[in-house]
Structure 1
Amino acid sequence: MSSRADINAGLRKLGKFAPSGYFVGLHIRFAAPLMQFQTYREDWAEFYVRNGYALRDPTIAWGFSTTGSCRWSALPIPDPFNILREAAAHGLTYGLTVAHGLISSRTICSFARDDRELTNAEIEEIEATVRHLHDITEPPASLTKAQKEALRCIAEGDRHAAAAAKLGITESAFKARLISVRERLNARTTAEALQRAKEYRLL
């Protein structure tokens, strides 16, 4: 996995194409993305959640049905709940959805503007950036034995000194293991690393 700085750089690049906001769901597994980012206006985000649109959204349905990109104006998926019309009323007038990856770990992203359709050249650049974000956030296939031992100690509630003693290493060596596992899982905190390790089924 890549560093948070690399991910943020990709998101900044995507944000330039979507002045009305975006949703980026990376590696959707078991109906939830491993990482998600969204910059839509708060009123639309709240309206979307309040109405349970995630299970009815034609852009999400399209993203699970195929890969590539599609302007919202050309989506071949029915929209019986008029979600796209509601989106337009909230300033998301023109949009694009991009889907990439295997169905077992699909990345689905949507980008919105209020002024015009995205050009073909812009779509190509967006697709390339989404593919890059998908690739650099691919979860690791495994953790080292040392990394697993360190995370299990934390999961059991051990403090650093106690965990180090249990493993027969110095406290600084134990902290180094935690740093390495945070980097491997692209986590900001040890708690986040532990949660991701569980989600990725690495423990």
Structure 2
Amino acid sequence: MSARAEINAILSKLNPLAPKGYFIGLHIRFAAPIMQFQTYSKEWADHYSTKAYALRDPMIAWGFSTNGAVRWSAVPVPDPFNILGDAASFGMKYGVAISHGPISSRTIAGLTRADREYTDSEIEQISKQIRLLHELTEPPESLTKAQIEALRCIAEGDRHAAAAAKLGITESAFKARLISARERLMARTTAEALQRAKEYRLL
């Protein structure tokens, strides 16, 4: 099973556990996740963004302070902007926050529902899936020489035929190198692979 398929399988297990949506920020570095997934309503996502809540969210503050899991109702972090109260008005009344990984590459997730608190067993199940996602999306420490050469050609603006000629390989071999680079970087497109390679300082 490909990494992308494994990620989708994990997300499909989380969907029924978060009827009012979730947000998962994977490997947050320099204040931004390298990959994120969100199923919150568009109304809440727009409201959250307009209010710049990410800078003030007690869930995120808690997530950067520790590893583990906590119900929203028990978060030991002040909420002076009443973000959790605001979320409840959008039907997100109960939630759980999960934090995992080193501070230099932390994964933080929030899942929510409208009807009741999460049970201990549900929180354990969610925590396990978030840890799996974190491990599955761990950025590679290196690329092969062939992958780096192929991505550099694209970065320099070469078309596939020209890049293949420059490297002394067939065009199909060049495309195969790009595909392997995309798979290693878990990117959907070559442009996304190039961006990730730069972010991970692999080029």
In the superposition, the TM-score normalised over structure 2's length comes to 0.98
Matched, 1:94 2:94: yes
CA deviation map 1:13-71 (0-9, x unaligned): 11111100000000000000000011111111111000000000000000000000000
Greater displacement, 182-191 / 22-31: 182-191
Alpha-carbon distance between aligned partners in 1 of 2:188 and 2:84, rounded to the nearest angstrom: 35
Letter in 1 for 2:41: R
TM-score, with length taken from structure 1:
0.98
Within a 5 Å distance, the mapping from 1:62-81 to structure 2 comes to 62-81=62-81
Give how far 1:120 is off.
0.3
Instruction: Provide the alpha-carbon RMSD of the alignment.
Output: 0.7
Aligned to 2:193: 193
* Residue 20 (structure 1) aligns with: 20
Q: Distance in 1 between matches of 2:191 and 2:3?
A: 17
How far does the alpha carbon of each residue in 1:87-126 deviate from its partner, in whole angstroms, 9 at most, with x for none?
0000110000000000000000000000000100000000
- Gaps of at least 5 residues in structure 2 are none
Shift of 1:177: 0.6
CA distance in 2, matches of 1:139, 1:189: 16
Alignment of 1:128-139 (within 5 A): 128-139=128-139
Percentage identity across paired residues of the two chains: 72
Partner of 1:151: 151
Aligned residues: 202
Residue 3 of structure 1 and its aligned partner are, at CA, apart by 1.6
Q: Distance in 2 between matches of 1:15 and 1:99?
A: 18
Of 69-78 and 184-193, more deviation after overlay is shown by 184-193
Gaps of 5+ in 1: none
Distance in 2 (alpha carbons) for counterparts of 1:5 and 1:90: 32
Per mean C-alpha deviation after superposition, the further-off stretch among 174-183 and 63-72 is 174-183
Q: CA deviation at 1:158?
A: 0.3
Question: For 1:1-203, what aligned pairs fall within 5 Å after superposition?
Answer: 3-203=3-203
Give me the whole-angstrom Cα distance separating, in 2, the residues matched to 1:46 and 1:22. 15
Where do 4+ consecutive residues of structure 1 move more than 2 Å?
none
Secondary structure at 2:33 match in 1: strand
Aligned-pair distance for 1:200? 1.1
